[in-house]
């Protein structure tokens, strides 16, 4: 969390939203438990089953990827 008077309110708000998305727990596509965490840039790993996948920089699925999955009927 960026808690300072510098850089302007809008920048700090956007930064804090991105960090919150990045550190959140997501559902694993393999075992369906909420243990998918970000390991590094675009690398996501499930703490329960050890499943690793490549995804978005801050979320496991990008907005375009979600759209494609909906079009294919997989979500």
What pLDDT, on a 0 to 100 scale, did the predictor assign at position 34? 93
pLDDT, average across residues 5-26: 88
Domains contained in the chain, CATH given? 25-72 (2.20.25.30)
* Cα 67 to Cα 65: distance, rounded to the nearest angstrom: 5
What pLDDT, on a 0 to 100 scale, did the predictor assign at position 2? 67
Asked whether the beta carbons of 56 and 65 are under 8 A apart, the reply is: yes
Asked whether the beta carbons of 43 and 52 are under 8 A apart, the reply is: yes
* Cα 18 to Cα 57: distance, rounded to the nearest angstrom: 10
pLDDT digits (tens, 9 = 90+) for 31-75: 999 999 999 998 999 999 999 999 899 999 888 888 988 899 876
pLDDT, average across residues 23-36: 91
Q: Which residues does 56 contact at the CB level (< 8 Å), separation at least 6?
A: 42, 62, 65
What pLDDT, on a 0 to 100 scale, did the predictor assign at position 75? 62
What pLDDT, on a 0 to 100 scale, did the predictor assign at position 1? 67
Backbone dihedral region of 32: left (phi > 0), alpha (psi from -120 to 50 degrees) or beta?
A: left
Q: Is the pLDDT of residue 3 over 80?
A: no
């Amino acid at each position: 969390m960026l808690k300072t008077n510098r850089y302007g309110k809008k920048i700090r708000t956007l930064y804090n939203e991105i960090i919150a998305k990045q550190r959140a727990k997501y559902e694993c596509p393999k075992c369906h438990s909420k243990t998918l965490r970000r390991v590094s840039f675009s690398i996501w790993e499930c703490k329960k089953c050890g499943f690793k996948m490549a995804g978005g920089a801050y979320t496991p699925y990008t907005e375009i990827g979600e759209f494609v999955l909906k079009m294919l009927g997989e979500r």
